[in-house]
Amino acid sequence: MVEISHAPVGQALWLTLLGWGEGGTQGLTAASRAVLESAEVVFGAHRHLRLLPPLNAEVVEWPVPFADGIPELLNQRGRRVVMLVSNDPFWFGAGSTLAQHLSADEWLALPAPSTFSLAAARLGWPLERCTCLGLHAKPLTRIRPYLHAGRRLLVLVRDGEAVAELASLVSRFGFADSQLTVLEALGGDNERTRHCRVDANLPQDIAHPVAVGLEVAGSGPALPLTPGLSDHFFDHDGQITKQTIRAITLAALAPMPGERLWDIGTGSGSIAIEWLLAHPDNQAVGFEQSAERAARARSNADNLGVDWLDVKQGSAPEVLNDSPLPDAVFIGGGLSQALLDDLWQCLPEGVRIVANAVTLESEALLAHWQHKAGGELMRLELANAAPIGTRRGWKASYPIVQWRGVR
């Protein structure tokens, strides 16, 4: 493990993060050009360094994986150092990673137009109306929540194979009518733009760096923005919080940006997945005793574009102890007095807790707990119209008792 030290307070400016595109020095401002020409050391990836003009500086190729280059960069403190970064270093770029290891007065960023800006300019799309996704190092399934007919997406991907994989995913999700634009080497001498449908035969010579413009079209099922996805979006064995109860439960959990959920007895993962869909910064940990259900929850998360769901196999409360503390807890399975007592001991004040019960024994437990800990207790009864001979009547589901409280 590499230990990285921070500069002392008052460290003089020594590092410039220089936005660098496929046009090399052609796209630099006068200020960026002056910083580059006066540098003593220049760091950059191989594809950036190939565009450098002759310099008096020492030139160092940045290694892969990215983190391996950070100690060597920090060892250059006291010299005039330039790091070449792709376009805008703080939009899906290296800037945010490097800034964690630096004091504010050590570095300066001189960004170039982002790949998203260049792509929007080539396509004539208003950038503020586009969804911009950096998936060059992330699973492509993360596009799933954004597939709504009429939307325009700008997506950064790693290479030509990823373009083909992305097109296949979009078609599989039911949006084969979408128009795809492949944008290569934007801003450089080898810039190229090509258009086709996502279900067409793609070119075989797509070269990195590459971005994709996607005009979404088709009759595929888009994911609604409100909580309570239809049950058919989830693979399950019957162990699932059904759509209507799930919507009520998520409203009770009240997810807010950046919050973490504990989903105890996660089953199909439906509650945790919808928690994650509420905001891309949200986190969720699912706890599931069954290995088969734990695997199913992970698969559902992947298919719905929230692959960062963390599912831990084991029984609560034993498996809770090693997990970061949550902002909210849902108990959908494994409810017991021991679990409630343990949660009350380990959770900090202010954590929201929602528990659903369907058996008489668990109802009695929640009634007793509400008397002890306060909160809200409600009974939810649902019925659907169903045939009775030649007529129709109400077919009731098992009632759900729900307790909502705050630690």
pLDDT tens, position by position, 135-149 = 988 999 999 999 999
What are the start-end ranges of the E strands in 94-241? 107-110, 131-134, 152-157, 179-184, 192-197, 210-215
* Greatest extent of the chain over all pairs of C-alpha atoms, in Å: 90
CB 311 within 8 A of CB 284: no
What's the pLDDT score for residue 10? 43
Q: How far is CA 208 from CA 48, 135, 163, in A?
A: 12, 13, 10
Nearest Cα to Cα of residue 405 among 379, 376, 363: 376
Contacts of 54 (CB under 8 A, 6+ apart): none
* Helix (H), strand (E) at residue 168: helix 160-172
Contacts of 124 (CB under 8 A, 6+ apart): none
What's the pLDDT score for residue 208? 87
Question: If pLDDT is split at 50, 70 and 90, which confidence band does 3 have?
Answer: very low
By the 10 Å C-beta count (0-12 exposed, 13-18 middle, 19+ buried), 285 is classed as: buried
The pLDDT tens digits for 169-219 are: 999 999 999 999 999 999 999 999 999 999 999 999 998 899 999 999 999
How high does pLDDT run on average in the chain? Answer: 93
By the 10 Å C-beta count (0-12 exposed, 13-18 middle, 19+ buried), 27 is classed as: middle
Provide the whole-model pTM: 0.90
Q: How far is 328 from 284, CA to CA, in rounded Å?
A: 10
Q: How far is 304 from 222, CA to CA, in rounded Å?
A: 11
CB 26 within 8 A of CB 113: no
Question: If pLDDT is split at 50, 70 and 90, which confidence band does 317 have?
Answer: confident
Q: How far is 33 from 53, CA to CA, in rounded Å?
A: 11
Residue located via tokens 């504990």? 262
What's the pLDDT score for residue 8? 41
Residue 6, pLDDT above cutoff 50: no
Omega before 317 within 30 of 0, i.e. cis: yes
Question: If pLDDT is split at 50, 70 and 90, which confidence band does 322 have?
Answer: confident
Nearest Cα to Cα of residue 283 among 328, 313, 343: 328
Domains and CATH numbers, the chain: 15-112 (3.40.1010.10), 116-216 (3.30.950.10), 231-406 (3.40.50.150)
Kind of pairing between the strands at 210-215 and 310-313? unpaired
Q: How far is 144 from 216, CA to CA, in rounded Å?
A: 11
CB 236 within 8 A of CB 268: yes
Report which DSSP code applies to 323.
S
